[in-house]
Amino acid sequence: VTGASTGIGYATVRRLAAGGWKVWGGVRSSSDSLQIERLDGVSSLRIDVTDDEQTKTAFGEVADSRGRLGLDLLVVNAGVLVGGPLEYVTPEEWRRQFDVNVVGVASSIRCALPMLRLSNDPRIVVVGSINSRVGVPLLSPYAASKHALVGLLSSLRRELGPTGPRVTLIEPGAVQTPLW
């Protein structure tokens, strides 16, 4: 589970662990690692999805731990929200928005696919947003990044075909989390 330190990611980690899953929660800081490692059945992974080497290393740790068992489920939840009037959002802010919410998603999936292929029933779940479907003033960068996930995952489903991992995009509305 990427983006496991707060909000939907943390709730997902807790729910999966309570259901008996062995869970790895991807976090960016050591304090976040300590928080989620207090949960039974949960290990933390230091991962910034915008850092390709760190992403490869984190998924490599999971692969080393799982071996030939593979990975049954990848939940890609890491995300950021850049907002404001379009005329004031800088190109650097746009890049950050897409680096985390689109490129980071693709990178996480790419690194997990070899492990997912070892599972009998592999699944990829990506947390998007209702803002991919409904535009909201002052959230153009966020909405554009979440809309990009619709295209990415639509293509990925066809690329992986009927024998690949099942791919699901969840598009929640506003949820009371630190992101909002």
Residue 56 within any structural domain of the chain = yes
Q: What's the pLDDT tens digit per position in 107-145?
A: 999 999 999 999 999 999 999 999 999 989 999 999 999
Phi/psi for 74 (5° steps) reads: -115, 125
Residue 51 within any structural domain of the chain = yes
DSSP state of 100: I
* Cα atoms in the Cβ-side hemisphere of radius 13 Å centred on 99: 13
Residue 175 within any structural domain of the chain = no
Q: What's the pLDDT tens digit per position in 29-63?
A: 888 888 898 999 999 999 999 999 999 999 999 99
Task: State the pTM of this model.
Answer: 0.94
Among the residues of 7-139, which ranges form H helices? Answer: 7-18, 30-37, 52-66, 91-98, 104-116
Q: In the chain, how many domains are there?
A: 1
Could you say which of 35, 126, 142, 149 is catalytic?
A: 142
Identify the domain containing residue 139 by its residue range. Answer: 7-170
**CA distance linking residue 162 with residue 153, whole number of Å:** 14
Annotated active-site residue 142? The verdict is yes
Residue 2 within any structural domain of the chain = no
CATH of the domain at 36: 3.40.50.720
